[in-house]
Copies of this chain bind each other. A is one copy, B any other.
Amino acid sequence: MYSPLLAHIARYIALTPEEATLFTSYLKTQSIARKDFLLREGQVCPASYFVLQGCLRTYFVSEKGTEQIIQFSIENWWVTDYASMSQHTPTPYTVQAIEPTEVVVFDHEVQEEVFRCVPKLERYFRLILQRAVAAAQFRNKFLFGMSGEERYHHFITAQPGFVQRVPQYMLASYLGFTPEFLSKVRAKVNHS
């Protein structure tokens, strides 16, 4: 059940079988039906989640009332609101399943105990977070430094899997443009 997570961890650190067993004894899994919510705006985010199967989107509702998608999460990705989880504040984000989704739940309330029992995991999460910061820095550059057309090309090249799995209007929201603009860019690509 937890083998995709253990395989992901093994890319970064070597847990003994005992450590792996101890760690997974603190975990549980959760299924989210398509269109159901893993987290809703206003809740305190209770856990970090690792996607075993499926696809989630993280969005917030802007002042204008539109949904702004900030992240898609597929297999092997961690998703959480770190600020809400660590400071026990209501999250501004909503995490919804785009496909039937299965996640590992790493509850905030057991995290400190787990890090105490298996200190090696500090390293795994440090390295994961380092990648998350790098991705956030890149997204900044992506949104401000490229034209809409470049963003689309970059996205389909870097993340070809998403284009098939994510509805067009969500992709447009993530890329920071209107569905109409996305249609135009796609039409141009298909005719070139």
Q: Give chain A's interface residues, CB within 8 Å of chain B.
A: 60-63, 68, 70, 81-83, 86, 92-93, 115, 119, 122-123, 125-126, 129-134, 136-141, 143-147, 150, 176
Contacts and interface: CB of A to CB of B under 8 A. Distances in A.
11 contacts: A62-B145, A63-B150, A70-B141, A82-B130, A82-B133, A83-B134, A93-B137, A119-B119, A123-B126, A132-B136, A136-B137
B134 A132 contact: no
Contact of A70 (B82, B92, B140, B176): B140
> What DSSP secondary structure best describes chain A's contact surface?
helix
A140 B150 CA distance: 20
Contact of A122 (B70, B123, B140): B123
Given A70-B144, A81-B134, A83-B137, 17 more contacts: A60-B145, A62-B144, A63-B145, A63-B150, A68-B141, A70-B137, A70-B140, A82-B134, A82-B137, A115-B123, A119-B119, A119-B122, A126-B126, A126-B129, A129-B133, A132-B136, A136-B137
